[in-house]
């Protein structure tokens, strides 16, 4: 019989609750501890879901006392203050939401701690688990798509979110907090990035108190394989909509994604281009959680481990650094 894995969730916001619900659905996984500040958020979730688990207000205390196999870190990026390292020292495997940190140096220390202690890690890049993304990867790996040549992506919303999200010292900016999913898609589908030119700007929110992040961003990427990419972001678009679209032009196929689960593939080598539509609703949060648990059991590298989280962090950091240098090229060391 499989070992019952004891899991703890640190942070009971939307993502913490979503992962907790996923874990509750799994066999041989026990949701053993919850942590939130204020404590009542964890207490209310436990009560509403009939859980007899321990609740904590301090994440380091939970790591020390709860005897966990797995820790989910679902905190805003500014609150990533060493919990991963503390868990790694105790041999606890870690799932962490993106971005893993607010600067590259901090991210590298997290990678070192995870690899030194040989723990399994996964970063919350849920788009990798979408049905359309998986189908594209199949065509990419079996040669149907041919060479990847161009990646174009666009993220748009119009929301003030919470106070911490509007503070660049706490979230890093929209490219760090939201558009990073599309930057990660570029790395997942196109391979490592070689260099970046980027600009970020706050054009419509200068009169909003406490709003210090960008609301507009654009970048160009050259990938190691010679392919090119462009990614735009906006927080000045349609209210109550969060849209992340991307397009990949390959040697033999063009893939238009309206999101990770929905895409239209056009096969361009045929005399009359054949069109394939992918539309399968997949609960990507549950899928990524199931995959992480399985990788922990097998002690295998996850689909998006902490080192890949660092690659995403390096890429969005390069965009901001380029903007601070008036769009100068930033070379990314791989």
Give residue-wise pLDDT tens across range 281-300: 999 999 999 999 999 999 99
pLDDT in tens, 73-100: 999 999 999 999 999 999 999 999 999 9
Q: Is residue 323 part of a domain?
A: yes
Residue 294 sits in the same domain as residue 175: no
Q: How far apart are CA 138 and CA 141, in angstroms?
A: 5
Q: What is the pLDDT of residue 272?
A: 87
**Do 114 and 164 belong together in one domain?**
no
Q: What CATH number should be reported for the domain holding residue 297?
A: 3.40.50.720
- Please compute the mean of the pLDDT values over residues 104-118 and round it to a whole number: 97
Percent share of the chain, pLDDT over 90: 97
120 with 259, same domain: the answer is no
Report how far apart, in Å, the C-alpha atoms of 94 and of each of 43, 89, 305, 312 are. 22, 11, 9, 18
Residues 55 and 104 in one domain: yes
pLDDT at 205: 97
248 — pLDDT class (breaks 50, 70, 90): very high
State the chain's mean pLDDT as an integer: 97
The verdict on 20 and 42 lying in the same domain is yes
Both 142 and 260 in a single domain?
A: yes
Distance CA 107, CA 167 (A): 20
Q: Please, which pLDDT band fits residue 333 given cuts at 50, 70 and 90?
A: confident
Q: Please write down the long-range contacts of 260-268, taking CB distance under 8 Å and 24 or more positions apart.
A: 260/126, 260/127, 260/128, 260/129, 260/130, 260/131, 260/132, 260/133, 260/284, 261/130, 261/131, 261/132, 262/132, 263/132, 263/135, 263/136, 265/135, 265/136, 265/139, 267/144
Residues 191 and 297 in one domain: no
Token pair in block for residue 184: 């990660």
Q: How confident is the model at residue 2 (pLDDT cuts 50, 70, 90)?
A: confident
Type and span of the H or E element at 67: none
Number of domains in the chain: 2
User: What range defines the domain where residue 147 resides?
Assistant: 127-282+314-331
């Amino acid at each position: 019989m499989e070992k019952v894995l004891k899991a703890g969730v640190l942070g009971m916001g939307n993502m913490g609750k979503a992962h907790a619900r996923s874990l509750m659905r799994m066999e041989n996984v026990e949701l053993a501890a919850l942590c939130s500040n204020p404590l009542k958020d964890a207490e209310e979730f436990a009560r509403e879901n009939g859980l007899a688990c321990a609740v904590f207000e301090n994440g380091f205390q939970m790591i020390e006392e709860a005897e966990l196999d797995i820790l989910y870190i679902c905190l805003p990026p500014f609150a990533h203050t060493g919990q991963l390292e503390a868990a790694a020292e105790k041999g606890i495997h870690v799932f962490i939401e993106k971005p893993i940190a607010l600067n590259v140096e901090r991210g590298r220390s997290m990678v070192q701690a995870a690899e030194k202690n040989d723990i399994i890690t996964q970063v919350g890049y849920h788009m990798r688990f979408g049905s359309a993304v998986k189908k594209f990867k199949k065509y990419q790996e079996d040669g149907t798509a041919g060479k990847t040549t161009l990646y174009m992506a666009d993220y748009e919303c119009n929301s003030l979110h919470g106070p911490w999200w509007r503070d660049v010292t706490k979230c890093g900016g929209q490219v760090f907090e939201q558009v990073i999913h599309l930057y990660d898609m570029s790395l997942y589908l196109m391979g490592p990035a070689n260099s970046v030119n980027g600009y970020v700007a706050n054009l419509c929110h200068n009169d909003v108190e406490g709003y210090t992040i960008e609301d507009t961003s654009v970048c160009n990427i050259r990938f190691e394989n010679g392919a090119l990419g462009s990614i735009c972001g906006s927080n000045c678009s349609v209210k109550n909509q969060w849209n992340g679209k991307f397009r990949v032009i390959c040697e033999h196929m063009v893939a238009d994604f309206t999101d990770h689960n929905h895409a239209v593939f056009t096969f361009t080598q045929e005399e009359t281009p054949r069109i394939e539509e992918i539309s399968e609703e997949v609960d990507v949060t549950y899928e990524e959680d199931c995959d992480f648990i399985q990788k922990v059991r097998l002690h295998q590298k996850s689909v998006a481990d902490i080192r890949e989280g660092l690659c995403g962090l390096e890429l969005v950091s390069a965009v901001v650094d380029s903007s601070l240098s008036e769009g100068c090229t930033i070379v990314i060391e791989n």
